[in-house]
Structure 1
């Protein structure tokens, strides 16, 4: 199964000037819990923004650049190669990869931050009517997570 994991704010904002415009520790913990021991597929820009492979998971970078070969990362050059990856596969970003893989994703783990931020990078538009909501949890701000947010787990109908 090909899954997708993303955090987005209002207007589907996922980034601004190469970074996330928010800090939400609860979401980072959730991402780690869901993706550890699995495979994450990201674009080159997303990988470069992280600066290193994330530990305890297989890191795959999809890029057209044939010379891109960072240590500790599997590099693929075609979206079709995602289908040959073993185990649970998470599309991890960024925007270009999300848009390119919309049709092959069967499951989404979404953190919706109920706040408006300036943004220059966006998640794809999606219609909840096209998905079965497996779970939905809402959270109010607290001392560590200063924005209201919700977790959605969706399976394509």
Structure 2
């Protein structure tokens, strides 16, 4: 079975994805989309992203990458490299009939994941926001935009956003 390796992130205009271990915005529409896209599929994250969640995300195999050999995460599979994470994720996806695995952050894991990803599900937050964690700059020439959707600022969303799906050329 073939699997898509997907990155999924919300990114401000200046590349920010987080501040102090949290997302510096409230985007309910985007969170719902995240849940819909990732539910039933393995998700891969770094230890800091795991810590920021506070618990495993239900309905998904949670895979945490860390260099700490003694780290344990209740409700998650702990691995020590992206290669190992992808191996576990593909095995889980195969058992569950999923056709994709998702890399959900943070910055360092996204940087590594860009090399192997087939798709990027990117929510562009149409604002410049202060932060300390960043999505890596990537060469958009190597990608084709296959979907876009504009979401205005509103009661559920603190900023206007543009949802873009990229597929590797």
| Aligned equivalent of 1:90 | 102
Moved more, 90-99 or 119-128: 119-128
Q: Distance in 1 between matches of 2:125 and 2:17?
A: 10
* Structure 1 residue runs without a partner (length 5+): none
Instruction: Report the equivalent of 1:126.
Output: 138
Verify the 8 A CA contact 2:7 2:113 in the aligned structure 1. Answer: no
Q: Which runs of 4+ in 1 moved over 3 A?
A: none
The match for 1:19 among 22, 25, 37 is 22
How many residue pairs get matched?
157
1:145 matches 2:145: no
Unaligned runs of 5+ in 2: 94-99
User: 2:124 is matched with which residue: 99, 112, 116?
Assistant: 112
The CA RMSD over aligned residues, in Å, is 1.1
Q: SS in structure 2 opposite 1:96?
A: helix
User: How far apart in 2 are the matches of 1:100 and 1:127?
Assistant: 14
Give the CA deviation at 1:82.
Answer: 3.2
Q: Distance in 2 between matches of 1:140 and 1:52?
A: 30
SS at match of 1:111: strand
The separation in 2 between residues aligned to 1:141 and 1:123, in whole angstroms, is 22
> Given the two structures, how large is their TM-score scaled by the length of structure 2?
0.89
Matches within 5 A, 1:48-87: 48-84=51-87, 85-86=89-90, 87=93
| d(CA) in 1 for partners of 2:86, 2:77 | 14
CA contact (8 A) 2:7 2:120 kept: yes
Checking the alignment, whether the CA contact within 8 Å between 2:45 and 2:106 is kept in structure 1 is yes
Q: Residue 25 of structure 2 contacts residue 158 of structure 2 at CA under 8 Å; is this kept in 1?
A: no
Q: Deviations over 1:71-126 (max 9, x none)?
A: 21011112211332222210110011111221111110000010111111100112
Secondary structure of 1:147 counterpart = coil
